[in-house]
Structure 1
């Protein structure tokens, strides 16, 4: 919608549901990319502190967006690929959110799916906005805090899980790198096959031997078909495997976020305990000195910080329980998603191999007919 640098893409979000709190069972709305990011920010603000794993939204790509806005007719293919990849990523984000038993009933999520009104523009999602710059500095501060603060872990479950998540993160990133290399190699193979086919076609045109010329011409057509099969497999490598791995690298990042949130809650609890100890010491000094004018105030402060310590401990225990519950759900979903994805990928490989066999079998009689 719009023109030039002011243009933006609107995505149609269609919903089919049997939940009673929606007005209809089938409905559609149009949402901007920034609306998806705004929804993610709202859900994170509400639920991260309680230990919920928030499905990550696709990252904003300024380069990709700018290319679409400035693209001409010759760039339409690349723009269409970018739009389709982003659409698929947004769809996975919404579906993962809708599959979460708590997030799917959130009022902001329901408004996102159902409200026919245009949502308020989420200005803080812009990378160049003031809020975006502040968010960047906050992330830097959070990263420094993650590195510098070490929590004395008393729960062996968390100690084990943190290490497991770190290992999973490393292996997913390693596999993603390998699959991206595979996609690149298949794309190269497809392009080389196309070049080879053109060379064979040119050779067939200048060969005076009729049966050989005919066979070479058929081989050129075969190579063109093979090139299409390789291109389809390249798309499957990227669309099925690569995108799933990217999603799970981001999901593991979301798990790390809730782990860090638990550490922050622990920090607040321990800080309250330190302050409480100081308040008790101050109260004891006033009692020894007989400062009756200070004792009442000191006592009130002790009571106040005792309450904060209790709330801090309760919050820490609550977020610990919630993270365990969320990770249990994450593992069940992860296993199922990887199972479905691997089956789809294997089926695509088998289908493409069968196509290649049929293509070469159809050419074999022509090759044998060379006389």
Structure 2
């Protein structure tokens, strides 16, 4: 009886052991701060870990976008990870457009009313802040996805990126390297077109490849459509600013009973402007960014399929060369 109870307890313990959550938070990464300095953005990467590979349990390092690219390139170039989907690198911070808009607004200050200028400046500053927060979030998600990966998290370059206190001495590409990268991209694109017609022996991978190609094309079209919608909402909001300001100006210059209705119209367009700006912001942050996230992810999966096709093509070529060598 005791043996039966004991075996039941062991079985129960074994069942509990089988359901233990092994995904412990033993490597937590967040970007605690970010500082924009002219053309560069410095991210403060904060890490908490229980892993013995690290010298400390909690530490901070300062990293620039080029160092994120360096880390992503190290993963892409490592043949040991050729069969893995590498999380896509976050896009380069682009604050030039917002700065150009602010500069253009400053240049046209003389032809705008003070109310128009203040509202447009407020809109652009809010847009700049939202873009800054979005940039920080995308860089943070990139690191968190690497930390959550059972294999990539153990990479030595990843540990150096997180732990090394000094700069990684990663510089931006010069003109020669940029041209070389451009031709490399063209070569890869041409190679992808050639390999697209390659016969896939495994039906599973053929189905996956065709699905990814269709999915990536559709989601890219959806992303472009969402971006157009966002720009249209922004244009409408800017138009409402001018209408509201125009009615306000008319109301102050008109001393008749009509001025009250003009003020009501100005207030209506101001409320409509706030609503339109909210719709534009929500569409950008909740729809466009989500679509863009899946678009980059599907492209990373397509890159994996490309590496597989490239390996298969090289394998077939090597076999043909071997057969020719044997025939001699």
Q: Which residue in 2 is equivalent to 1:302?
A: none
CA distance 1:169–1:3, change in 2 (3 Å): closer
Which residue of the partner structure matches residue 291 of structure 2?
245
Please identify, of 161-170 and 230-239, the stretch whose mean Cα deviation from structure 2 is larger.
230-239
Q: 2:135 aligns with which of 75, 86, 90?
A: 86
CA-to-partner distance for each residue in 1:311-363, whole Å, 9 max, x for gaps?
xxxxxxxxxxxxxxxxxxxxxxxxxxxxxxxxxxxxxxxxxxxxxxxxxxxxx
Give distance in 1, aligned partners of 2:49 and 2:77.
Answer: 26
Q: TM-score, normalised by structure 1?
A: 0.64
Q: How does 1:192-341 map to 2 (within 5 A)?
A: 192-205=239-252, 206-209=254-257, 213-214=259-260, 216-282=262-328
Q: Which residue of structure 2 aligns with residue 30 of structure 1?
A: 62
Cα distance in 1, alignment partners of residues 268 and 313 from structure 2: 66
Distance in 2 separating the partners of 1:202 and 1:67: 28
- Cα distance change on mapping 1:66 and 1:195 into 2, 3 Å: closer
> Which of these residues, 180, 197, 219, is aligned with residue 172 of structure 1?
219
* TM-score normalised according to structure 2 size: 0.71
Distance 1:236 1:95, change over 3 A: farther
Alignment match of 2:88 (pick from 45, 56, 64): 56
Q: Helix, strand or coil: the match of 1:9?
A: strand
RMSD: 3.2
Deviation at 1:270, TM superposition (A): 1.3
2-side partners of 1:17 and 1:242: how far apart? Answer: 33
Give the secondary structure class of the aligned counterpart of 1:53: coil
Tell me what 1:97 maps to.
Answer: 146
Which structure has the greater CA radius of gyration? 1
| Cα gap change, 1:10 to 1:3, in 2 (>3 Å) | closer
The answer to whether the 8 Å contact 1:49/1:261 transfers is: no
CA distance in structure 2 between the partners assigned to 1:190 and 1:2 by the alignment: 28
Which residue in the other structure is 1:132 paired with? Answer: 178
CA distance in 2, matches of 1:157, 1:278: 31
Distance 1:168 1:44 in 2: 23
Kindly provide the CA deviation profile for residues 53-91 of structure 1, in whole angstroms up to 9, marking residues without a partner as x: 111113447x8569869x969598476565444333322
Deviations 1:215-254 (A, max 9, x none): 6435533532432232132122112221222222222221
Aligned to 1:41: 73
Per the alignment, in what secondary structure is the counterpart of residue 152 of structure 1?
Answer: coil
Contact 2:36 2:42 in 1 (8 A): no
Q: State the SS of the aligned residue for 1:88.
A: helix
Please, which runs of 5 or more residues in structure 1 have no aligned partner? 283-371
1:173 aligns to what SS in structure 2?
helix
Corresponding residue to 1:113 among 157, 162, 166: 162
Could you say if the C-alpha distance between residues 213 and 28 of structure 1 is closer, same or farther in structure 2, counting changes exceeding 3 Å? Answer: same
Shift in CA distance, 204/129, structure 1 to aligned 2, threshold 3 Å: closer
Q: Which has the higher helix share?
A: 1
Separation in 2 of the partners of 1:115 and 1:15? 12
Match of 2:198 among 151, 167, 183: 151
Q: 1:233 to 1:17 in 2, by over 3 A?
A: farther
Choose 225-234 or 213-222, whichever is displaced more. Answer: 213-222
Shift of 1:180: 0.8
8 Å Cα contact 2:76-2:82 kept in structure 1: no
Residues 9 and 32, structure 1, Cα contact 8 Å, conserved in 2: yes
- Cα distance change on mapping 1:11 and 1:65 into 2, 3 Å: farther
